[in-house]
Every structure is written in structure tokens, then in C-alpha cells.
């Protein structure tokens, strides 16, 4: 395997000094959250430090902890406290958090999530606890109409006043497949396109990478070009239920550095894996849509996708990171990251597009690493990949690897708090300008662009926001798409 192929596109991370330089034309939303009722003088913290503090406080405060979020405007961690006495508040304030008293406890939020799972597992729905409102945010996509909508409304009302909010999404929940560089597989009926997330070292020391689970289920062998020979083989694939795959390079001598391609010959080192925090700014690089940013809006999110293999089935996704970062078909499997070079998630699915916006969900990297036994980077250089505490409040019914703070609920078997995503729409895998792999220009690095990246100061790559790949048909689940991208 040529050495240049060793850097086969670890997603599209951008760990740079200033978000404005990284993505001047991106969704530069500002944190408008107000820590209403917050007490004490909180420390100024980076998002990563806030996540660590939230994890510690979850253990320290016990049942009184009711979720947390990062106020990026004030650079403070806001911790919700329910039924806590003055001593609990004092402990949180001494640790450096802003404390806010709320009505809904973790137990109540978990109970609401379990009720939704039991009564409203409807295709096209999702729910996650929003610690900023201290409620469960329930979302229905455009397919939830008629009796299904009535059932969802009734279930939400039944949770009680002040427990949940319900909103409509204009798009349709589906999986996205890609990230920074495109990867391809030739299967019966055509080609499948996904994206590499992050290069890792497998537990046996061999070079590998992480991508979406529904990609690994769709096809066993993967190439870095549409018509090229396979260069990697799926070792582990979990979908549905979770959404991650570990894919090992066929050549054991492959160099798989822990870096990401951001375009125009630029790469960014990935230093560690980190848990997401509600309110923090994150970046996503996609072979279809280029570089985009936004905020984490929920943790341990549950998404109910319409099954593409069973007309009457539902592919339920638990344990995902919910964001307002846009994505489109062709972006699944790729990387979600922070400005400081932390690997956060693998693109799974969502609704909307990069014109109108929408919700997008990501498999937590920390959970995928713990489940597969892999570490970021190569050989002895790998490290810093523990599946640590997750701050914030999530609404899935889950258990497994890693202590997660927030309102995540128990009862999901499997390794870590993770979820699979239904196999959704696919975009074509042909030669493209602006995205993908092979001989291409713009967002994505494949073929002769391996290891290259975007100059962060130059903004989004050429073709940003457009899906150059033609719309495909078929099912990602069985890989029967005629030139489809996940």
C-alpha cells in the first residue's frame, strides 16, 4: 500500500486557535443561554475542562445533580441542582460551577424517557434531555402525521406539565454517510460510499479506523477510491442499537496518523477523545458538504429511524450526541471534533440539510473506543481515549461503558452509550467536484489528496454546502444501493 494512502482521511477535524479563522462562513451562532437563577461566581473554563468538571460533579452531587451545560458566552459550566441542600450548592460553587436550582430531577427525566420509549417509539421521532430548559425535548420529523402525531402529542402531554416540549422538524430523519474523506465499497447492485472518521490502533496493535456502524454492516471491504482495490476490512460493526465500525487496514505496515484533513494541504492533529458537553461549539467535516460548525444541544439522544430493511420496522438509536450542525447524505461515518483537536463523534444521521439546517446526531467516539478496545493514533503514540464521564443530560434508555452525567437512562445493553442509525438516503459515489474521494477538488481528500486539508483561514472548501453526488436509491443496510453514499 503506498505510503500516501496511510493518511486516508481521518474525517475532517479542525483544531485551531480561533473558530472565526477556522470557519468564517459557518454557522457562527452565539450561546444565548442565560443561567437564570444561577448562583455563585463560576470559574472561566474551556469546554473540555467544563466537561471534566461536570463529570466530577455528577459523582460528587449524586441524586442532586440534574444535568449541566456549557455557557460558551460566559465560558462557564452551569450545573442544575434538584432537591439539593445548601451544602450541595456550596460544593458545586467551590468546584467552579454556576449553580441553578431546577424542578426536574434526574430520576424524573429518566422516567419520562422510559415512558417515551414504551409509548412513542415511532419512526421519525427523537428525544433528548435539554439541561438548559430542564425538560425532555421531543422532536418529530415531517413524516409523523395523522394518528402517529396524535399519539406522540398525547404521550408528551401525559408526561405532565413542565416535563417535556414537542417540536416539528421540517426534514426527515435519515442516516448520513461521510465525514472528511470518502471511502467506497463495491457491493451487489452498485457502490456504497461512506466516510472515514478517525484513524486508530486496534487492540492487537494493527492500524485501523472508525466509521459508522451502518457502513460496516452494508459492506465488508473498503477502498479509498470508487474503483480501487480494497485496502481495509471490517473487523467489528454494530448496527442498529449502536452505530460504529472498526475497520482494519489490510496492510499491517500502513501508517495511520491521528490527524484530520481540512483541505488545501492542511492537516490537524487529533490529540485525544473527549465527551461532548451541551452548549459547546463543535465542528463537522463532510465529503459532501465540507466544513460546518454549531452547538451540542443534547446528549444520550434517542432517534427512531424508519427501517430500510423492514417496512414495518423501526431502527432505534440510543446514546447519540444531538447537535444543530448541518449534514447531508454522504456525510455519515465522518468526524465531529472540537477546536482543540479532540475527537468527539462519528456522523450518524439526522434531518434537514446545509441550506435549511436541521438536527444531526453523532455516535460518541469515547464509547466506540471503549467498545472496540481501540485507541486513537498509531502504536505507542495512541492515548487519551478513555470513555470518561459525559456531562449534560440525555434521554436514552442506556447503560454500558463510561459514567455519563446528565439524564441518560439505564437499560440499553451493549458497550457504552451508543446507538445505531437506520440506513437512510444515499448519495452517489461518482467522481465529484468539491467533495468525496478519488480525483476531486474541494472538501474531502481522497486519491492524490490523501493527507491534505483545508487552510483554516480560507474558510469552507470549494463546493461547501452542496451535495455534488447524485441522489442514490436502495438500502444502505444491505448495501444494495446503485452508487449510494451513507
Which residues are part of the catalytic machinery?
214, 243, 332
Nearest to 215 by CA among 188, 234, 241: 234
Judge whether 102 and 79 are in contact, CB under 8 Å: no
- Cell numbers for 397, please give them: 434508555
The owner of cell 467489528 is: 236
Sheet holding 182-187, edge to edge: 182-187, 190-195, 484-485
For the record, the C-alpha cell of 28 comes out as 457562527
Distance CA 109, CA 115 (A): 10
Alpha-carbon distances of 262 from 61, 125, 412, 459, rounded to whole Å:
40, 33, 36, 10
**Packing angle between helix 47-61 and helix 86-95, nearest 10 degrees?**
150
Rounded CA-CA distance 152/115 in Å is: 11
Grid cell 460551577 is found at: 97
End-to-end CA distance of the chain: 25
Q: Could you tell me the three cell numbers for 65?
A: 445533580
Yes or no: say if 414 and 401 are a contact pair by the CB < 8 Å rule.
no
Measured distance CA(303)–CA(318) in Å, rounded: 7
What are the DSSP E strand ranges found in 72-213? 76-81, 98-101, 125-130, 135-140, 164-168, 174-175, 182-187, 190-195, 198-201, 207-211
Measured CA to CA, the distance from residue 418 to residue 301 in angstroms comes to 9
Per-residue cell: 95: 468546584
Instruction: Give the Å distances, CA to CA, from 174 to 22, 30, 226.
Output: 28, 27, 23
- Strand-pairing partners, residue 397, are 409
Write out the three cell numbers for 409.
Answer: 437512562
Please name which of 284, 441, 442, 455 lies closest in space to residue 361, comparing C-alpha atoms: 284
DSSP type of residue 160 = -
| Residues 278/297, Cβ–Cβ less than 8 Å | yes
Q: Among the residues of 381-442, which ranges form H helices?
A: none
Amino acid at each position: 500500500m503506498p505510503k500516501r494512502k496511510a493518511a486516508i482521511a481521518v474525517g475532517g477535524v479542525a483544531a485551531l486557535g480561533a473558530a472565526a479563522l477556522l470557519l468564517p462562513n459557518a454557522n457562527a451562532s452565539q450561546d444565548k443561554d442565560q443561567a437564570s437563577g444561577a448562583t455563585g461566581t463560576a470559574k472561566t473554563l474551556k469546554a473540555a475542562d467544563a466537561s471534566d468538571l461536570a463529570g466530577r460533579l455528577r459523582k460528587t452531587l449524586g441524586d442532586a445533580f440534574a444535568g449541566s451545560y456549557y455557557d460558551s458566552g460566559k465560558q462557564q459550566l452551569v450545573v442544575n441542582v434538584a432537591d439539593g441542600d445548601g451544602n450541595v450548592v456550596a460544593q458545586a460553587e467551590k468546584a467552579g460551577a454556576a449553580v441553578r436550582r431546577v424542578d426536574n430531577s434526574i430520576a424524573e427525566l429518566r422516567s419520562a424517557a422510559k415512558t417515551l420509549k414504551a409509548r412513542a417509539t415511532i419512526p421519525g421521532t427523537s428525544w433528548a434531555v435539554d439541561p438548559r430548559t430542564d425538560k425532555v425535548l421531543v422532536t418529530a420529523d415531517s413524516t409523523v402525521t395523522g394518528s402517529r402525531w396524535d399519539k406522540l402529542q398525547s404521550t408528551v402531554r401525559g408526561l405532565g406539565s413542565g416535563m417535556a416540549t414537542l417540536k416539528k422538524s421540517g426534514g426527515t430523519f435519515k442516516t448520513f454517510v461521510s465525514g472528511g474523506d470518502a471511502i467506497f465499497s463495491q457491493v451487489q447492485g452498485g457502490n456504497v460510499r461512506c466516510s472515514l472518521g478517525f484513524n486508530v490502533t486496534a487492540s492487537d496493535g494493527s492500524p485501523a479506523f472508525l466509521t459508522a456502524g451502518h457502513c460496516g454492516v452494508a459492506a465488508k471491504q473498503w477502498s479509498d477510491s470508487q474503483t480501487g482495490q480494497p485496502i481495509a476490512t471490517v473487523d467489528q460493526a454494530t448496527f442498529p442499537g449502536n452505530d460504529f465500525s472498526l475497520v482494519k487496514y489490510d496492510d499491517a505496515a500502513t501508517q495511520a496518523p491521528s490527524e484530520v484533513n481540512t483541505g488545501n494541504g492542511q492537516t490537524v492533529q487529533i490529540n485525544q477523545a473527549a465527551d461532548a458537553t451541551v452548549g459547546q461549539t463543535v465542528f463537522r467535516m463532510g465529503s459532501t458538504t465540507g466544513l460546518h460548525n454549531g452547538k451540542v444541544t443534547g446528549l444520550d439522544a434517542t432517534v427512531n429511524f424508519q427501517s430500510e430493511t423492514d417496512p414495518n420496522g423501526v431502527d432505534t438509536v440510543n446514546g447519540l450526541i444531538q447537535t444543530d450542525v448541518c449534514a447531508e447524505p454522504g456525510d455519515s461515518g465522518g468526524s465531529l471534533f472540537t477546536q482543540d483537536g479532540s475527537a468527539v463523534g462519528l456522523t450518524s444521521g439526522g434531518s434537514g440539510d446545509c441550506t435549511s439546517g436541521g438536527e444531526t446526531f453523532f455516535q460518541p467516539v469515547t464509547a466506540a473506543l471503549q467498545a472496540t478496545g481501540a485507541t486513537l493514533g498509531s502504536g505507542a503514540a495512541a492515548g487519551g481515549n478513555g470513555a470518561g464521564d459525559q456531562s449534560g443530560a440525555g434521554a436514552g434508555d442506556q447503560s454500558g461503558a463510561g459514567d455519563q452525567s446528565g439524564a441518560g437512562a439505564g437499560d440499553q445493553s451493549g458497550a457504552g452509550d451508543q446507538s445505531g442509525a437506520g440506513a437512510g438516503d444515499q448519495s452517489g459515489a461518482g467522481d465529484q467536484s468539491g467533495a468525496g474521494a478519488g480525483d476531486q477538488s474541494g472538501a474531502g481528500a481522497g486519491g492524490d489528496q490523501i493527507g491534505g486539508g483545508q487552510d483554516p483561514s480560507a474558510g469552507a472548501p470549494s463546493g461547501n454546502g452542496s451535495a455534488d453526488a447524485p441522489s442514490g436509491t436502495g438500502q444502505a443496510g444491505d448495501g444494495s444501493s446503485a452508487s449510494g453514499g451513507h
